[in-house]
Amino acid sequence: QAKAAGRNAFCLFSPALQDVIDTRSSLESALRGGLNRAEFQLYYQPQFSLDHGLLGAEALLRWTPEHHPAVSPAVFIPVAEETGLILRLGQWVLHTACEQLVRWAQQPQTRDLKIAINVSARQFHRPDFAARVRSALEATGANPARLQLELTESVVLEKVGEVVERMQQIRQLGVTFSLDDFGTGFSSLSYLKQLPLDQIKIDQSFVRDLISSGNDAAIVRAIIAIGRSLGLQVIAEGVETQDQMVYLTSMDCRAFQGYLLGRPVPMRDWQRAWHDWQHQDAQAG
Ligand code: C2E
Ligand code: MG
Ligand code: MG
Ligand code: MG
């Protein structure tokens, strides 16, 4: 999905094939330089559940090249994946998120919050990925139980046996797993039951037209039922309106992420918005 969006974005400003290739390679070198110049940043978007309130955040990568407006990950992640740069980028994301977890661990209000990071297929399939997760946790001292890895169906499409084995290695560290963009890939339900998951995320494309489309509502209802019967937390992403949230709640979805609840923000803004949130909640309740 992100891949398709990235390709389309290129086609928009460079229709000719040669232009596309030029843009791609200049984007690639800009990305490389951006890593060296520390132009990347993590934004954090809150996740909530009806049962536990603020759960934590999904970390979302942002790239702001010097003298340029921010570039969407939908554009640069596919290029980073094709060129292998995603390995360095992903490693940076993993470390930066772990460092944030350590800072959160020092405050009682934020101690229990988790951070979810997106892991690309290429990153996950590296033979040393489990070792890299372990060393990021050890090097930073982050609590593994607060780290969640979001995988998409493209990660688990092939060699399920190997994927399950790797997930189990990482789970033994205490890290949890979420299946992102659920319903947009083609993995079968028999795969789903084999994967050691903790959470599935209903893709925002189903949430968007939930109210107007009976088909989307039916799909969402089915995803919630499957997730619950497998004992997984089900979270809806892309929740933008109160109506969507009410409808999702009526279908027994109990966790949410979306602009309605909070946009992705840099950590300094997060602190302003959410730092005392749990504390206030506890006092109010
Ligand atoms: P995703 O993991 O499915 O993340 C959700 C995307 O939906 C994010 O877009 C988020 O900003 C956006 N979003 C959240 N709430 C709403 C809402 O209410 N309405 C709408 N319309 N959108 C909402 P973003 O940040 O542009 O990221 C796009 C994709 O790029 C992500 O999709 C993920 O697949 C990828 N990505 C982002 N950061 C990373 C990263 O660190 N590593 C890797 N491998 N991929 C990443
Ligand atoms: Mg995600
Ligand atoms: Mg998603
Ligand atoms: Mg997505």
**What span, in angstroms and rounded, lies between the C-alpha atoms of 253 and 224?**
6
The pTM for the full model equals 0.91
Task: Write the ipTM.
Answer: 0.98
Q: Ligand 4: distance of its center to the CA of 2 in Å? A: 6
- pLDDT, tens only, 67-105: 888 889 998 999 999 999 999 999 999 999 999 999 999
Kindly report the three-state secondary structure assignment for every residue of the chain: CHHHHHHHHHHHHCCCHHHHHHHHHHHHHHHHHHHHCCCEEEEEEEEEECCCEEEEEEEEEEECCCCCCCECHHHHHHHHHHHCCHHHHHHHHHHHHHHHHHHHHCCCCCCCCEEEEECCHHHHCCCCHHHHHHHHHHHHCCCHHHEEEEECHHHHCCCHHHHHHHHHHHHHCCCEEEEEEECCCCCCHHHHHHCCCCEEEECHHHHHCCCCCHHHHHHHHHHHHHHHHCCCEEEEECCCCHHHHHHHHHCCCCEEECCCCCCCECHHHHHHHHCCHHHHHHHHC
In contact, 181 and 235? CB cutoff 8 Å: no
Mean pLDDT of 111-135: 96
User: Going by CA atoms, what residue is nearest to atom 41 of ligand 1?
Assistant: 61
Ion ligand 3 — residues with CB under 5 Å? 180-181
How far, in Å, from the CA of 62 to the mean position of ligand 1?
Answer: 10
pLDDT tens-place string over residues 241-266: 999 999 999 999 999 999 999 999 99
Q: Residue 261: what pLDDT? A: 95
Tell me the pLDDT tens digit for each residue of 137-165.
Answer: 999 999 999 999 999 988 888 788 999 99
Instruction: Return the percentage of the chain with pLDDT > 70, whole number.
Output: 88
What are 48-53's contacts with CB under 8 Å, separation 24+? Answer: 48/255, 48/256, 48/257, 48/261, 49/233, 49/235, 49/254, 49/255, 49/256, 50/249, 50/254, 50/255, 51/254, 53/277, 53/278, 53/281
Residue nearest to atom 23 of ligand 1 (CA): 238
Ligand with an atom nearest the CA of residue 203 = 3
Pocket residue to mutate for ligand 1, from 60, 64, 184, most atoms within 8 A of Cβ: 60
- Tens of pLDDT, residues 160-191: 899 999 999 999 999 999 999 998 887 678 78
Q: Residues near ligand 1 with C-beta < 6 Å?
A: 2, 45, 60-61, 72-74, 77, 90, 93, 117-118, 120, 150, 180-181, 204, 237-240, 258-259, 264
pLDDT of the residue at 154? 87
